[in-house]
Amino acid sequence: MPAFDLPPTELEHYRPDIEEPGGFDAFWRSTLEEAGRADPLVSVREVETGLRLTRTWDVTFRGFAGDPVRAWFSTPAAAGRALPAVVEFAGYGRGRGLPHERLTWVNAGYAHLLMDNRGQGDQYGCGGDTPDPHAGAPGGPGVMTRGLRSPEDYYYRRLITDAVRAVAAVRALPGVDPARIAAAGNSQGGGLALAVAGLVPDLAALLVTAPLLCGIRRCLDLTDAAPYGEITAYLSVHRGAEHDAHRTLSFVEGVSFARRALAPAHFGVGLRDTVCPPSGAYAAFNRYGELAGQGPRKELHAYPYNGHEGGDAVQVRWQLLWLRAVLEGRDGTQGAAPSAPARVTP
């Protein structure tokens, strides 16, 4: 796929104005206050996986409206102290799958919570285990358009709330250092991680690659690839619904969450990504933390000849090194971070 978005020199400085809706902060404050009234954990049950160096628990926690959300929680088997934790969010159409599918963060010495995506899991991977009791809102067939005409009914209000509650859940689990929690994800998972960074002020770190839900209005103009293409297909049938749809989407705009974030952040983007166009990731990166004044430390790795896969395992290698520096320090001291905001082209 040839390059189709802005040229790299323009992406470097791309800081689009985002039409934030009135009441954005109040909307999320009330949503999260309602979800946070009950203790996060419902059940924690250790499972046998056949892995000798990893212990895994089947976790159920309370998400949006107190709905039960499933997750896998894993730690190194020999962990003898409270560990920093990585809360990971899966991509569009994927569920939590099987516990042995994602072992990178555990092998790096972290506790790891992988959240299931409510109402997803049927497109690829090994499935999911969390239904969405509120899926009756108009829209479909994909979750990208469920409840699209109303911020209160929109699917991503529920999924983002689940993601925030996943952080509360991992902090309540034994063997976790609650002060050292990182959010991580690619694509839809990246959009969720970014939302968590904007809604959880004491998050320790953010790892995001090719984020969905960033620069949404521009992405709808640039690509018909799913899942953005689900929105354009919906609006092609429901003519006249554009105003309500755009207003709803403005409440889950990743750039708005990025502006509010405080945690150190590591971004990755493929410049030929037609699924989540790179201008969305750059918009979030360039405006990341701007409401905090000087803003948090941040770093971006761009891959000029890659699409939605971005840097793939190369990007994960950068993430591992960067996260260790942020959470433990280059000399083993908690809290150290890379020296300056940076954009890197490997």
Q: Tens digits of per-residue pLDDT, 12-66?
A: 999 999 989 999 999 999 999 999 999 999 999 999 999 999 999 999 999 999 9
Q: Tens digits of per-residue pLDDT, 296-308?
A: 999 999 999 999 9
Q: Which CATH class is domain 8-344?
A: alpha beta
Query: Residue 175: which residues within 8 A CB-CB, separation 6 or more?
Result: 75, 79, 82, 83, 111
Environment class of 239 (CB within 10 Å of its CB; exposed 0-12, middle 13-18, buried 19+): exposed
Q: Encoding tokens for residue 269? A: 């983007």
Give yes or no: 308 in active site: yes
Q: Encoding tokens for residue 280? A: 């969305």
Strand locations in 201-325 (E): 205-209, 265-270, 298-303
Give yes or no: 100 in active site: no
Query: Residue 23: which residues within 8 A CB-CB, separation 6 or more?
Result: none
The answer to whether 28 touches 165, Cβ cutoff 8 Å, is: no
Out of 74, 187, 250, 256, the active site residue is 187
Whether pLDDT at 164 is above 50? yes
Whether pLDDT at 138 is above 90? no
DSSP-derived letter for residue 199 is: H
The residue type at 165 = R
The answer to whether 89 touches 206, Cβ cutoff 8 Å, is: no
Whether pLDDT at 284 is above 50? yes
Environment class of 241 (CB within 10 Å of its CB; exposed 0-12, middle 13-18, buried 19+): middle
Please tell me the pTM assigned to this model: 0.95
Give yes or no: 273 in active site: yes
